[in-house]
Amino acid sequence: MPRGQKSKLRAREKRHQARCENQDLGATQAPVAEGESSSSANLLFGDRPQNLPAAETLSIPEALQGAPSTTNTIAPVSCTSSNEGASNQDEKSLGSSREAEGWQEDPLSKKVVSLVHFLLQKYEKKEPITKGDMIKFVIRKDKGHFNEILKRASEHIELAFGVDLKEVDPIRHYYAFFSKLDLTYDETTSDEEKIPKTGLLMIALGVIFMNGNRAPEEAVWEIMNVMGVYADRKHFLYGDPRKVMTKDLVQLKYLEYQQVPDSDPPRYEFLWGPRAHAETSKMKVLEFVAKMHDTVPSAFPSCYEEALRDEEQRAQARVAARAHTAAMANARSRTTSSSFSHAK
């Protein structure tokens, strides 16, 4: 059963103590509470980290907090013990008095670290990065220093990870990562022998798509066999094709391998996995298939139409995402308004 009040109170006290010992700049950066639906994200894991220079306190949790709830959740702790359930505003004023040694000289350092964490997360998830998001979640009221913070964060990431952050859309301020190390697709599937699963996967995706977005296992192997790839025969390139198809690529979420409903004896089929949907598109796969047949995508009319529709949907989704971000940003009226001249 959920924790009782008492133990939470005790937890708060302990943290409060630890916090007072380590000057914690988290407090100084406490944002003004604004009506914000995702406030409890902060409250969920509510308080800021206590024992470390609270770089992260300034980032995500803080960014998502709004009206501070001081009820049964872990409210941000301030250093004057009487304010256990202090609101952010209190904390802010109290915090600033704590901004004594060390951090003074480089108050942006914490933001830089927070931004590094934020960017790495985006990199890991292959999500788009906008200036608006960076400001909203990390930079916050330091947005006047955005360029400097971004520059320093980018430098660190570049030096440690070998990825470059570049602005790909200077009008809407979209950024993307580019690996300086020239990673190939095959590497990202973590196969150091560079087994080109790409080929197998693309063929499979093609068969699945052209078969109406699901393909019985037999159909897939039939095509593979034509290319000299057999499920149970060791392949000089792919190794164990059956394993690659039914396990590896499934585990990596590129494919889904499931029993055909109500099949008895059980038969299996392949579908696109979520990662395939995310990393490629029907059109791209169709282009691949067309190339293999030495022709063009429009040579497969119904598939081509479907691919076109898919492209349109994706474009619309992108627009909607941008608009949503813009709307959120405007509602909070904290972002630089210029960044969000509306996507068409």
Partner 1 sequence: MLLKLVLNSSAHCAQPIRNSYRVCSHMQGSTRRMGVMTDVHRRFLQLLMTHGVLEEWDVKRLQRHCYKVHDRNATVDKLEDFINNINSVLESLYIEIKRGVTEDDGRPIYALVNLATTSISKMATDFAENELDLFRKALELIIDSETGFASSTNILNLVDQLKGKKMRKKEAEQVLQKFVQSKWLIEKEGEFTLHGRAILEMEQYIRETYPDAVKICNICHSLLIQGQSCETCGIRMHLPCVAKYFQSNAEPRCPHCNDYWPHEIPEVFDPEKQREAGISKSNKKSLRSRQH
Q: Indicate if the alpha-carbon torsion angle 219, 220, 221, 227 is positive or negative.
A: positive
Helices (H) and strands (E) in the chain, counts: 15, 6
Minimum distance, C-beta of residue 145 to partner 1, in the bound complex (Å): 13
Minimum distance, C-beta of residue 79 to partner 1, in the bound complex (Å): 17
**128 vs 79: CA distance, rounded Å:** 38
The residues facing 138 across adjacent strands are none
281 backbone dihedrals φ, ψ, rounded to 5°: -145, 165
Q: Which of 167, 240, 279, 311 binds partner 1 (CB under 8 A)?
A: 240
Minimum distance, C-beta of residue 165 to partner 1, in the bound complex (Å): 13
Of residues 252 and 308, the one with the C-beta less far from partner 1: 252
Q: What contacts 331, CB < 8 A, 6 or more positions away?
A: none
Q: Which of residues 246-265 bind partner 1 (CB under 8 A)?
A: 246-247
Q: Which of residues 66-95 bind partner 1 (CB under 8 A)?
A: 69, 74
175 backbone dihedrals φ, ψ, rounded to 5°: -125, 155
Task: Please give the DSSP secondary-structure letter assigned to residue 239.
Answer: B
What's the gap between Cα 336 and its chain centre?
Answer: 23
Minimum distance, C-beta of residue 159 to partner 1, in the bound complex (Å): 4
With CB under 8 A as the contact rule, which of the stretches 107-115, 257-265, 286-294, 307-315 interacts with partner 1? Answer: 107-115
- As given in the structure block, the two tokens for residue 248 are 């590896």
Q: Which of 121, 281, 336, 339 binds partner 1 (CB under 8 A)?
A: 121
Q: Which of residues 149-208 bind partner 1 (CB under 8 A)?
A: 152, 155-156, 159-163, 179-181, 183, 187-188, 190-192
- As given in the structure block, the two tokens for residue 312 are 């349109």
160-174 per-residue burial string, b: 16 or more CB within 10 A, e: under 16: ebebebeeeeeebbb
With CB under 8 A as the contact rule, which of the stretches 212-220, 228-236, 303-311, 329-337 interacts with partner 1? Answer: 228-236
Q: What contacts 190, CB < 8 A, 6 or more positions away?
A: none
Minimum distance, C-beta of residue 307 to partner 1, in the bound complex (Å): 26
Q: Which of 47, 90, 269, 306 binds partner 1 (CB under 8 A)?
A: 47
Of residues 162 and 212, the one with the C-beta less far from partner 1: 162
CA distances from 158 to 111, 155, 177, 178, 216 (A): 17, 5, 10, 10, 45
Of residues 238 and 300, the one with the C-beta less far from partner 1: 238
Size of the site for partner 1 (CB under 8 A): 79
243 in contact with partner 1 (CB under 8 A)? yes
55 in contact with partner 1 (CB under 8 A)? yes
Question: Taking Cα atoms as reference points, which of 259, 263, 314 lies closest to residue 284?
Answer: 314
293 in contact with partner 1 (CB under 8 A)? no
Q: Which of 30, 130, 137, 150 binds partner 1 (CB under 8 A)?
A: 137
Of residues 65 and 207, the one with the C-beta less far from partner 1: 65
